[in-house]
Structure 1
Amino acid sequence: MGVDPTGAKEFYAALFGWEFRREGGRGYHLILLGGEIVGGLGPSPMGPRFGSSWNVYLAAKDLGAAGERAERHGARLLARGVPAGGDGRLSLAVDPQGAPFGLWQGLREEGVVLVDEPGALAGAVLHSPEPEDSAAFYGAVCGTDAGTGTDAGIGTDAGIEKGSPARWMPLLGVDDPLAFEARARTAGATVLAPGVLCDPWGAVFGVVEAAVPRQRS
């Protein structure tokens, strides 16, 4: 994910209560919340010159075949079949509109197993200057109707400013987005827009009110 894994772990642990478990020998860590997997963190397979970013991975039953479909429909493959500890393999690509994305083939039945709760993934949004073309691309790669809405937590947004880069943005659940933004600013984050933040290393993520409220003891 970034150029300062130690700092990133401290930053996100303070905001979301995440814990991290090292997997393999490449600096990759599973992100845990209450003992359940909510994501992964590690150095970019492309090297530190690419900076820090959150990447959205699309599940693939056959990583090689998915990568070939992506290339046939205009994507550039940057990395193929990179091992991620004992959990699976990943490929990194850039779609025809310039948005980086990942493909993931897991080696375990469970992947991210906690969603829609505070501190867990609550969806993802694709910001694209050509939302219909992007929807057609991901539909062809994934074999599903990607659509241009957000009913499934993944959508496209035609409202980005002209010249802004196309990108996937993960959405993380929080109890109170406004209160979270205030705490994130104190921790060093920048609020780019309501519900859109940039961490101290340049990685952009979104927050939304979690569908499942936090369990109180």
Structure 2
Amino acid sequence: MKTSIANFRLFSILAIMAFATFSFNVVAQGGGGEDEGLPLALIFLLPFILLSLFGIVWMILWPAMFVWGAVFSGTKVERMHEEANQRRDSQRDRMGREILNSIDGGYRANVSSAGLVHANGVFGPSHWHLMIGFVNNLIGGSVTVFQQVISAGRAEVMQRLREQAEEDGWDEVINVRIDTASMTPQSSNSRNTVRGVEIYAYGTGIKYE
């Protein structure tokens, strides 16, 4: 796998070099003077100009996004957690009960229908969170910033499960379970770096007679 990636990179570099050489040759051989050579130069050099502009924009935007994450990412996570809890409390007040249940429901005999109910979401830390987590890993101990992200994500997904159950018309969701799966890039340079976590909650929707 690594060999094929290295070969692809080498091929890409050689292709770019060949394209650049061909572009300059076409411009140099333009027989109509500068009026014809200039448009050809712009056409063949346009990809490189666009890549250069993209690199410049990225060099400006990345520090700005990092600063934005340092200032607002913690507040955003807290707000998401708080909003999920508010929606949960509002639904409980409206329905008069908690619709999710971790028991198996075997004690009820008046069940008219049942079905699967599920909800999911993908959540990830900002670059600021990753940096703080890296520092915490150096000294050891609890990584609080990651706990906040996962806790807010679980609260959001569980509330999505409640709302989905209510939308489907179930009276209760029993045997509720929650799973997580890390989403890791496949590149060799960042294979051990988790960029996001999928949280999947599911249970059995019950309709009583």
Normalising by structure 1, report the TM-score. Answer: 0.18
Normalising by structure 2, report the TM-score. Answer: 0.19
Pair member with larger Rg: 2
Higher strand fraction: Structure 1 or Structure 2?
Answer: 1
Higher helix fraction: Structure 1 or Structure 2?
Answer: 2
Bigger RCO (CA 8 Å, 6+ sep) = 2
